[in-house]
Structure 1
Amino acid sequence: MRRRAAFLGLLGALALPGAALARCEGVVPGQRVQNADRDFVGQDLDEIVERGWIEFAVYEDLPPYSWEEGGEPQGIDIGLGRIIAEALGVEPRFRFVTSGENLEADLRYNVWQGLPMGGADNIVANVMLHVPYDSTFACRVEQVVFSGQAYREQVAIAYRQDVYPEDVPTPAYFRFDLVAVENDTIADFYLASFEGGQMNANIRRFPSMALAMEALNRGDVPAAMGPRAMLEAGAGSGVLVATPPLPGLAVGAWTVGIAVHHSHRDLGYAVDDAIAAALADGRVAALFENAGLSFTPPER
């Protein structure tokens, strides 16, 4: 989630009231990185089909979206990659990547430039999965095409039913009760600033959402806040997940899609068609249902 925190902060800023602008009007593209001498990187759609496989960049250790278990890729995004590969008639391959300092760095390293000083085998992936979509952000990053919106994620609250038997806790409860979050995420930033920082002393920060949920399951804290799918995936017996109102949070939900290099728009169109077909016939929804997770269709 830390990889998305800066991006979601940007979404919050963009959601503030202001004049309506045409898409990309008034948006200054990000400065191009020096020594990025190739405008065409990776493989186009025909080359991918001819060689018989497609490579996806996915985040490591990000359940329930993507992780490895016994050497095998697992998760919602892995299933989505397999759906795309099947539609293209090729084999899916997954490259697990770590997160950079922000989303723009992740896109630079995995979609349009590669790692600096990465060596001869340092090449970008054909498609990056689990990329939050925002129209204004897309205008800033000219080197990337954002497509394939597959599902919606939102901030939610998990809580122990034995502590809150009659009502769902809202952020105001955490002025008095402990709450677990992943460090440096949108939930962390939101609660730390809520009502002038009144609940800072009650926030318990963890390196990952999975560890925060373990603390909740043990009863160390009565509640946790973060992405709904992560909360649902980590919820143990007696733990419920709800989406109460979050006052003051400008953007509490976001669409998740894919990213490809701008020179491979044909690939982006093909991937988008594959995901649209899987949304229409229920295969994307089935990925969530089979994992015991709630599914919200994307805004496309």
Structure 2
Amino acid sequence: MRCNLTAFLLVTCLAFAGQVQARYYDDVISSGYISIGLYRNFPPYSFEQNGQAVGVDAEIGKRIAKAMDLEFRPHWITPDENLEDDLRNNVWKGHYLDKDDSQPLAMKKLADVMMRVPYDREFAFRQESTGEMVNEHVVMFGPYQRESWRIAFDSRKIEEVSTVAVFQYHPIGVEIDSLPAFYMVSAFGGRMRDNAHHFTNVDEAFRHMQKGKVDAVMGMRAEIDWQLFQAKDPSFHIGENGFPMMGKQKWDLGMAIKSTYRQLGYAVEEVVDRMIRTGEMEKIYQQYGLTYELPGLYQDVK
């Protein structure tokens, strides 16, 4: 997912043979359950704890199911090479390696609704060189959160982070192959390159900050908030800086369904819209110690 998010951000900055048949609204209702696509091992958004799906996206999925009087079933997604692959494998076609012959073709492993999909018009309507729509089989809808980048730092090592220029002199941890990683090695003529330390994920980078091996960590705001919430260390603060020359610094996240499932999408969108307007959505984020920011669609009407 992290690499796929980077690919999406870089893009925005700079034949059905063997197809799996999806479930329509009536099929979902009559089955008694709804399958919610969640990225595997991706805290604080979606992960397993004591055998149960938890995280903000899992909580949203559970509330969608409850509002529709359905059983919540997580559909765990292992990210492929890019977001288009994830949408194809989990929303409208199915993975070519899914050879589970115990189920008919129409019941192969697909999510009814996929969470944490960029809600971005340019991405949604992007075209191939032939003029064909890249994501023509998918509808991206229901923005429920605005995400951004954030830095956490050790105040025992750095007095404040009002500008990223401070990392010319202090080591900072970033996730490998992420946009922060590209940014830290290339911005300001590469003057921060030597102080950019690359880790498998934000969690590993944060653990190295706790050990004093780096002085700061950069990642998605929710991931940084989650680490600070768990650490509860008064020495770790949030930077108040911006990211000049970075390009896309905020983006909205929503959901995706197969393009023929619009009735199901309308029903799900109604639930999520109500959660946002009543403040229930913000409470879910607060439960995990996260900052909640309204997506642009809701900010525009305020």
Normalised by the length of structure 1, the TM-score is 0.89
Query: Are the equivalent residues in 1 in contact too, given 2:75–2:110 (CA < 8 A)?
Result: no
Instruction: State the 1:196 CA deviation.
Output: 2.1
Partner of 1:136: 122
Per the alignment, in what secondary structure is the counterpart of residue 296 of structure 2? coil
- Taking the TM superposition and a 5 Å limit, the aligned residue runs for 1:110-259 are 110-119=90-99, 120=101, 121=103, 122-140=108-126, 141-165=135-159, 167-235=160-228, 236=231, 237=233, 238-259=235-256
Matched residues in 2 for 1:170 and 1:208: separation?
23
Query: Are the equivalent residues in 2 in contact too, given 1:156–1:241 (CA < 8 A)?
Result: yes
Letter in 2 for 1:210: D
Matched residues in 2 for 1:147 and 1:51: separation?
23
Matched residues in 2 for 1:219 and 1:230: separation?
19
Residue 296 of structure 1, aligned match among 281, 293, 297: 293
Partner of 1:29: none
C-alpha distance after superposition, 1:6-47 (max 9, x if no partner)? 00111222xxxxxxxxxxxxxxxxxxxx55454x82111111
Give the total of aligned pairs: 278
Instruction: State the 1:130 CA deviation.
Output: 1.0
CA RMSD for the aligned pairs? 1.5
Matched residues in 2 for 1:212 and 1:246: separation?
19
C-alpha distance after superposition, 1:38-88 (max 9, x if no partner)? 4x8211111111111000111111110000011111100001101211221
Instruction: State the 1:131 CA deviation.
Output: 0.9
Do structure 1's residue 93 and structure 2's residue 73 form an aligned pair? yes
Normalised by the length of structure 2, the TM-score is 0.88
Query: Are the equivalent residues in 1 in contact too, given 2:24–2:264 (CA < 8 A)?
Result: yes
Instruction: State the 1:243 CA deviation.
Output: 4.4
Matched residues in 2 for 1:127 and 1:137: separation?
18
Matched residues in 2 for 1:241 and 1:260: separation?
36
Matched residues in 1 for 2:30 and 2:16: separation?
31
Q: Unaligned stretches of 5+ in structure 2? A: 127-134, 298-302
Deviating beyond 4 angstroms after TM superposition, the runs of 4 or more aligned structure 1 residues are none
Instruction: State the 1:123 CA deviation.
Output: 2.7
The 1:177–1:169 alpha-carbon spacing in structure 2 relative to 1, beyond 3 Å, is: farther
Do structure 1's residue 46 and structure 2's residue 56 form an aligned pair? no
Do structure 1's residue 273 and structure 2's residue 301 form an aligned pair? no
Partner of 2:130: none
Partner of 1:65: 45
Partner of 1:16: none
Letter in 2 for 1:296: E
Letter in 2 for 1:82: K
Matched residues in 2 for 1:242 and 1:199: separation?
17
Matched residues in 2 for 1:11 and 1:242: separation?
25
| Seq. identity, % | 32
Query: Are the equivalent residues in 2 in contact too, given 1:155–1:243 (CA < 8 A)?
Result: no
Per the alignment, in what secondary structure is the counterpart of residue 263 of structure 1? coil
Per the alignment, in what secondary structure is the counterpart of residue 115 of structure 1? coil
Query: Are the equivalent residues in 2 in contact too, given 1:217–1:239 (CA < 8 A)?
Result: no
Per the alignment, in what secondary structure is the counterpart of residue 261 of structure 2? helix
The 1:7–1:36 alpha-carbon spacing in structure 2 relative to 1, beyond 3 Å, is: farther
Query: Are the equivalent residues in 2 in contact too, given 1:57–1:129 (CA < 8 A)?
Result: yes
Query: Are the equivalent residues in 2 in contact too, given 1:158–1:223 (CA < 8 A)?
Result: yes
Query: Are the equivalent residues in 2 in contact too, given 1:57–1:95 (CA < 8 A)?
Result: yes
Matched residues in 2 for 1:232 and 1:97: separation?
23
